[in-house]
Structures are given as structure tokens and as C-alpha cells.
Copies of this chain bind each other. A is one copy, B any other.
């Protein structure tokens, strides 16, 4: 896991060069988000009232086979983005906020003023 305590606070892409090992861990999570189906699945899970959703409500939203949806859910779970529980016949998924919050932190620039502008650095 990426360090998040005092001595290694708030790993960020943008303030200092990422260490190899941190980059490997971070890349696993970003890779899990690098597919439209998984993004939509995660979005459906995260935005669901009550915080959880049944697989039977996810699968019909896609033109994909049920095993394919199951596969994508597994990848999201392995990335630490969601978790699930069987309750009777059905399986329910919910968001694990910690991983998402960590990613948001990694991508957030401290000085949020867009100081260098969208055009790039001041060039000579």
C-alpha cells in the first residue's frame, strides 16, 4: 500500500518523482479504471442509493455476457475499489471509498490555481 502516514504523507504524482514501487502499485489501480465497462460499473455502484447494488441490477445495463461482467467486477475488487457480499441468492457490491480518495489525492495539485496555465510553462 502507498504510504499515507506522517513520514510519507499524501503520495502525489505531481510534487515529486514517483518511486518505482509506488508507481507499480498505483498503476494497478489506474489500470482497473482504464476500461469503459469497469468505469460504468464502478459509477453505478458508487452512485447507488443505499450504497450497494445487486449484480442482477448491473448485468442488464450492458450488452455483455454475465461472465464478462463478473470478470470486470473481480478486477475492480482486486484493485481495492469495491467489495461484495453474498446475501441469499444474490451478491451485493459497494464502494470502498479509501482507494478512490487516495487516487483523488494523488491527482490533486496542491496549488490549485492552475498557476502555469493550460498552455504550459513560461518558455524562454
Q: Which of A83-124 contact B (CB under 8 A)?
A: 83, 85, 94-98, 100-101, 103-104, 107-109, 112, 114, 116-118, 120-123
Measured CB to CB, the residues of A under 8 A from B are 13-18, 20, 23-24, 26-28, 30-40, 42-44, 46-47, 50-52, 61, 83, 85, 94-98, 100-101, 103-104, 107-109, 112, 114, 116-118, 120-123
Pair A24/B36 contact, Cβ less than 8 Å:
yes
Q: Give this chain's copy count.
A: 2
Chain B residues near A116: list those with CB within 8 A.
Answer: 51, 94-95, 97
Pair B20/A36 contact, Cβ less than 8 Å:
yes
Using known A-B contacts A31-B31, A51-B116, A121-B50, determine if residue A39 contacts B14 with beta carbons closer than 8 Å: no
Using known A-B contacts A23-B43, A27-B39, A30-B33, determine if residue A51 contacts B122 with beta carbons closer than 8 Å: yes
CA distance A51 to B114 in the complex (A): 12
